[in-house]
Amino acid sequence: MLVLADNYIPFLKGILEPFAELRYLEPEDFTPETVRDADALLVRTRTRCNEALLVSSRVQFVATATIGYDHIDTRYCEMHGIRWTNSPGCNAEGVCDYVEEVLRTLCLPQNAVIGVVGVGHVGSLVAAMAERRGMRVLLNDPPKGIGVPLDIIAREADVITFHTPLVRGGEYPTSHLADAAFLAKCRADVVLINAARGGVLDEQAALLEQHSGKTFVIDTWEGEPRLNIRMLERARLASYHIAGYTLQGKVNATNMCLAALCRHFSLPPLQVPADRLPAHTAPAHGWLSAVDRQLRAHPDSFETLRETYPLR
C-alpha cells in the first residue's frame, strides 16, 4: 500500500511505515503524476483533491488533517468510491483561545454582547468561554435549528465571531455570509472576527467606506495565501490562518487521520506516541499582536509564516 502524506503533517513520520510505503511530499508536489499509484492521501488545505488530481489514480482514501474540507471535491470522491474524511473539532480549543486573545487584546468589556455564528465544535467552546467571561451570548446555527436570526445578532452584538464551514450552495450557504447587506445591519462599532474560512466574510464589502468604523479581526482570508493588502491594512488584528495552530490541535488532527486510515484499511489502531511530543508552554498574552506585526511586515510570506509558526 502506498500512502502519500503532506510533509507538514506533524509527528506522522515513522508511525505508518511498518504497514505501508510512505512518501512525504510538499503540498505543491501532489500532482496527477505523483498520486497515480497511491492508495491513500493524507493532506492539508493546500492540496485540492478533485477530479483533476484523482481521475487517473487508484486512490481510494483521502484524509485531511484540518477541520475544513472545501479543498476536497466530496461529490467527486463519493461518486467514484473514494472514502474521504476531515478532522472535525481537532483544533477547536485553539480557535477558542484565539477568540479569547482577541477579546483581551481589544479590551472588550465583560458585559459585551457576542454573537457566535456556527455552533459546532468551535462555536460551542467559544460560547462557553464568553459566558464564563460574563458576556451575553447570542447563538446562530440554522442547520442545527439553534439560536437567533442573523438580523438580531447584527443589531445587538458588540462582537460577532464566525465559526462555520465554507458552503457555496444548498439550503444554508455561508460563502459571503457577512456580505454588504449583513454588514450594513451591524452596529457601527461592531467587532467582526473571521477565524472560520476565507470567503465567509466578503472582504470587498468590508472595505466600503460606510464600514470604516467597524473593527475587523481576520485569520482566514479570501484568496490566501495571496492577501488583499487593502484588507490587511483595514484589519485591526490580522493573522496568517493560525487560529487553530496549537500543539494539541495538531496532535489531534494527525491522530484522527491515522484512526480513519487504519479503519479503512483494517490496520491495527495507531496514534502519535506521547514520548514524541515536545515540551510545551502556552504563550503569554500578547502573542496575537506579535503575529499581527509579523504578517504586516511580511505580507508576501503568508505561507512561509504559517508553515514555520511555532505551535502554541
Predicted pLDDT of residue 259: 98
Long-range contacts of 125-131 (CB under 8 A, 24+ apart): 125/92, 125/93, 125/95, 125/96, 126/95, 126/96, 126/99, 126/161, 126/163, 129/96, 129/99, 129/100, 130/103
Mean pLDDT, the chain, integer? 95
**Which domains does the chain possess?**
2-90+247-276 (3.40.50.720), 92-243+288-307 (3.40.50.720)
Q: Which has the closest alpha carbon to 218: 162, 281, 257, 274?
A: 162
- pLDDT value at 278 more than 90: no
Predicted pLDDT of residue 183: 97
What is the pLDDT confidence band of residue 311, given thresholds at 50, 70 and 90?
confident
What is the pLDDT confidence band of residue 258, given thresholds at 50, 70 and 90?
very high
Predicted pLDDT of residue 151: 96
- pLDDT value at 15 more than 90: yes
The pTM score is 0.85
Predicted pLDDT of residue 261: 98
- pLDDT value at 144 more than 80: yes
Helix (H) or strand (E) holding 264: helix 247-264
Do 29 and 6 contact (CB within 8 A), yes or no?
Answer: no
Predicted pLDDT of residue 194: 98
**Catalytic residue numbers, as ranges:** 197, 224, 241
User: What angle, 0 to 180 degrees and rounded to 10, lies between the N-to-C axes of helices 92-105 and 121-132?
Assistant: 40
What Cα–Cα distance (Å) separates residue 54 from each residue in 30, 37, 49, 62?
10, 10, 7, 10
Predicted pLDDT of residue 279: 81
Q: Which has the closest alpha carbon to 255: 17, 7, 95, 89?
A: 89
Cβ of 233: how many Cβ atoms within 10 Å? Answer: 11
* Alpha carbon distance 199, 167 (integer Å): 9
- pLDDT value at 75 more than 90: yes
Report the share of the chain in percent with pLDDT over 90: 92
Cell of 237: 488584528
Predicted pLDDT of residue 281: 77
When computed from its CA atoms, the radius of gyration of the chain, rounded to whole angstroms, is 20
pLDDT digits (tens, 9 = 90+) for 162-199: 999 999 989 999 999 999 999 999 999 999 999 999 99
- pLDDT value at 42 more than 90: yes
Q: Which has the closest alpha carbon to 252: 5, 66, 14?
A: 66
Predicted pLDDT of residue 94: 95
Q: Which has the closest alpha carbon to 61: 38, 91, 94, 45?
A: 38
Predicted pLDDT of residue 73: 97
What is the pLDDT confidence band of residue 282, given thresholds at 50, 70 and 90?
confident
Do 46 and 9 contact (CB within 8 A), yes or no?
Answer: no
What is the pLDDT confidence band of residue 291, given thresholds at 50, 70 and 90?
very high
Predicted pLDDT of residue 207: 97
